[in-house]
Structure 1
Amino acid sequence: MSEIIATYNLSKRYGDACRVKNVNLSVREGEIYGFLGPNGAGKTTTLKMILGLTRPTAGRVTVFGKGLEQNRRFILSQTGSLIESPSYYGHLTGLENMRVVQRLRDVPDRNVEEALRIVRLEKQKDRKVAQYSLGMKQRLGIAMALMSFPKLLILDEPTNGLDPAGIGEIRELIKALPQRYDMTVVISSHLLSEIEQTATSIGIIHEGMMLFQGSLEALKNEKLPTILVKTQNNALAQELLARKGYLPARDGDFLAFENLGDDQVAMLNRILVECGMDVLRIEERKKNLERIFLDMTGKGGSL
């Protein structure tokens, strides 16, 4: 697959504060790329630099294999985006707002109708947007981004303001876009469970630096599962194992061990049995994306 977006040591400073530090982001054709990070991690700033809305302090960006500065018009003609919050004219109806973007994009009427239908606003298109709920405004913003059915779609927190049913509908829409419309999608979100169900690859950014980039499967394989051990006397077992260099944490009725391979699990079991300790249960707890994310960011960031 060809690379749709690539950044090279992309950085952005605001005064003395460095918001993005040497980010090398890679999005391949046909992917749904989930961009994750705590609030203030640099997600929106990075997306703005990719779209040319903010000028990098250092580094460069290519989209569709072309430099952004030299090919801005071509790149933006093939790109749809919703960054931070939708832009609209409150005194105009939903359809009238769509017509404004239609003229800018020079797309046929059928695109307007299809985009409204996709986000389920076709029955609300004649209402003034000032009367829309927050979720409806968000849907309108997504419809505007979709209207030209671009090759690249960048959505910054697209489920903001949506109820659980709406979140599910947008999730299913995003999952269908690559195959149905041949789109590549970049989506930033603080809803880790949604990214886990939607994205084919992810990037995790924290304090402006990229911590991980690749497939979700590769991330989960990189982080060994937690091993839980229950014995007849956990306090004594913890003391015995500490003498052998094992430092488990207490987790309810279990001792929890991180980053143990199969050989180490067998060894600690042998140690306990040889010390006359009954091992009642050994379990493996695989980590979901949320647990991995919190571990990687030191649990210090608010999502």
Structure 2
Amino acid sequence: MNKPIIVKTKNLTKMHGTVKSVNKVDLYVPEGEIYGFLGPNGAGKTTTIKMLLGLIKPSEGDIQVFGKNIRKSRSAILQNTGSLVESPSYYGHLTGLENMLVMKRLRNVPMKNVDEAFRIVRLDKQKDKKVNQYSLGMKQRLGMAMALLSFPKLLILDEPTNGLDPAGIGEMRQLIKSLPSRYGITVLLSSHLLSEIELMATSVGIINEGKLLYQGSMDDLREKRRSTIRLKTEDNIDAQQLLGSHGYRLSQEASRITFENNGDQEVARINKLLIDNDIMVTRIEEKKLSLEDIFLELTGKEKSL
């Protein structure tokens, strides 16, 4: 059974002068998913998120959240939406608790939500300290607590691990992964960090230069991670001629002969064929496409994230 779509856009476009920073993007974020919005810095992720929250107006296209049009029902949508975009907003001269109490009044939520949000982000022992004395990571976690304060149906996070040390990144990752099952929260998570998206997301959208290049489940994306076998022999030229004469499609990569991995039995047959013809095999390696490899294939560019 198909899940309800929480966020849906059609032909979403944002112009800056003559440049389309977001170009006809059709997003589909299913309920209960962690949707990883992946792309390099400047790809259009933050601009898209700001349009979803009604912070900036699209040049073209439509946005629906919870089945409602953002132009007509922004207030009702935001009541059920939490967000952490770019850097968290706070009053530095106030304590973490005082900041949360300001948000509590704005959100009209019970005090137990404040206590639970502090506990979730592990700031409960630092809540009486002034935010100006917080580290960058603590400020990021306070922003996360504010976003969670009403325990919304939809949580939109823009680079939420910024400023966190490795332990903090791990904690944030576990927290985000628990939100759909524990609290029924759908998460839209943007990042340029491939490893974080791969570890957290259940579905993914890849954007570059304002265009959505791929959208689907993380499992479907992983299926694109085909593997190749790389061989090194004592005589690669003779090895290539021999294997080519037996119908194998090969390519050369530095000092390795490469071919598509068709299973262990096929690799064993190739190894035996070479040895039977007195060509010694000195190394056999499997290379699997990473998520970054797939990204580079999709964009057609050698562009680092």
Cα distance in 1 between the residues matched to 2:278 and 2:70: 65
Is the contact between residue 42 and residue 206 of structure 1 (CA under 8 Å) also seen in structure 2?
Answer: yes
Tell me which residue corresponds to 1:250.
253
Tell me which residue corresponds to 1:262.
262
- Supply the RMSD in Å over aligned alpha carbons: 2.6
Task: Give the superposition deviation at 1:256.
Answer: 3.0
Is the contact between residue 232 and residue 277 of structure 1 (CA under 8 Å) also seen in structure 2?
Answer: no
Task: Give the superposition deviation at 1:170.
Answer: 0.5
When the two structures are superposed, what TM-score results if normalisation uses the length of structure 2?
0.89
Alignment of 1:37-52 (within 5 A): 37-52=39-54
Mark the CA change 1:237 to 1:57 in structure 2 (over 3 Å): closer, same or farther: farther
Tell me which residue corresponds to 1:68.
70
Tell me which residue corresponds to 1:230.
232
> Does the residue aligned with 1:139 lie in a helix, a strand or coil?
helix
CA-to-aligned-CA distance 1:101-133 (integer Å, 9 cap, x gap): 111100000001110111111111111111111
Cα distance in 1 between the residues matched to 2:301 and 2:284: 27
Tell me which residue corresponds to 2:299.
297
Alignment of 1:134-213 (within 5 A): 134-213=136-215
Task: Give the superposition deviation at 1:194.
Answer: 1.6
Is the contact between residue 228 and residue 285 of structure 1 (CA under 8 Å) also seen in structure 2?
Answer: yes
Cα distance in 1 between the residues matched to 2:187 and 2:47: 17
Cα distance in 1 between the residues matched to 2:244 and 2:262: 19
Letter in 1 for 2:208: H
Task: Give the superposition deviation at 1:38.
Answer: 0.7
Cα distance in 2 between the residues matched to 1:35 and 1:13: 20
Task: Give the superposition deviation at 1:237.
Answer: 4.0
Tell me which residue corresponds to 2:102.
100
Is the contact between residue 224 and residue 294 of structure 2 (CA under 8 Å) also seen in structure 1?
Answer: no
Task: Give the superposition deviation at 1:71.
Answer: 1.1
Task: Give the superposition deviation at 1:77.
Answer: 0.3
Tell me which residue corresponds to 2:217.
215
Tell me which residue corresponds to 2:279.
278
Match of 2:124 among 102, 122, 125: 122
Tell me which residue corresponds to 2:19.
17
Letter in 1 for 2:204: I
Cα distance in 2 between the residues matched to 1:296 and 1:5: 24
Cα distance in 2 between the residues matched to 1:237 and 1:15: 57
Cα distance in 1 between the residues matched to 2:219 and 2:278: 36
Tell me which residue corresponds to 1:54.
56
Mark the CA change 1:21 to 1:279 in structure 2 (over 3 Å): closer, same or farther: farther
Letter in 2 for 1:138: Q
Match of 1:132 among 110, 121, 134: 134
CA-to-aligned-CA distance 1:267-301 (integer Å, 9 cap, x gap): 9959x859957373654322232332233334543
Q: What is the aligned-residue identity percentage?
A: 60
CA-to-aligned-CA distance 1:53-99 (integer Å, 9 cap, x gap): 11111111111111111111111000000001101111111111111
User: What is the number of residues matched between the two proteins?
Assistant: 298
Task: Give the superposition deviation at 1:247.
Answer: 5.9
Residue segments in structure 1 that go unaligned for 5+ positions in a row? none
Cα distance in 2 between the residues matched to 1:129 and 1:6: 36
Cα distance in 2 between the residues matched to 1:95 and 1:274: 71
Tell me which residue corresponds to 1:2.
4
Is the contact between residue 9 and residue 60 of structure 1 (CA under 8 Å) also seen in structure 2?
Answer: yes
> Does the residue aligned with 2:71 lie in a helix, a strand or coil?
coil
Residue segments in structure 2 that go unaligned for 5+ positions in a row? none
Cα distance in 1 between the residues matched to 2:62 and 2:149: 28
CA-to-aligned-CA distance 1:169-227 (integer Å, 9 cap, x gap): 01000111001100000111122112111111111111111111111221121342223
Letter in 2 for 1:132: Y
Task: Give the superposition deviation at 1:262.
Answer: 3.3
Is the contact between residue 39 and residue 302 of structure 1 (CA under 8 Å) also seen in structure 2?
Answer: no
Letter in 2 for 1:36: L
> Does the residue aligned with 1:285 lie in a helix, a strand or coil?
strand
